[in-house]
Amino acid sequence: MSGWHKTSRHARGYGSKWVKLRALIMQRDNHLCQPCWRKGRPTPASSVDHIKPKAMGGTDDPSNLEATCADCHKAKTTAEAAQAQGRTIKQRLGFDEGGSPIWPE
């Protein structure tokens, strides 16, 4: 996957069709981050992410897409990259009353 960022978004499959699909998913998910929503924390979404990554056989089917906030998207992408390299990383457990992430010991 090295060098993927050097190709255009259209070449990676994120052209005008993706823009329309992204808008549909954001509307379906009420512009809220779905991982945060499942944890009872309504958070505005900033992107649409593949639940099962395309690199692992995922598709652009709406059932494989969800709205995510920047923090959840980054955490998931980092975990996927670590998994691909045979490493593991700590997953946050949730958030405290002040909104700060809680990490495992």
Could you read off the pLDDT of 28-54 as tens digits, one per residue? 999 999 999 999 999 999 999 999 988
Residue type (1 letter), 96: D
Q: Check whether 1 has a pLDDT greater than 90.
A: no
Would you call 64 helix, strand, or coil by DSSP?
A: helix
pLDDT at 49: 95
pLDDT at 96: 75
Give the separation between CA 11 and CA 22, rounded to whole angstroms: 17
pLDDT at 79: 82
Give the separation between CA 36 and CA 69, rounded to whole angstroms: 8
The string of pLDDT tens digits covering residues 58-67 is 999 999 999 9
Give the separation between CA 48 and CA 29, rounded to whole angstroms: 10
Give the separation between CA 26 and CA 47, rounded to whole angstroms: 8
In terms of pLDDT, which residue wins out, 10 or 35?
35
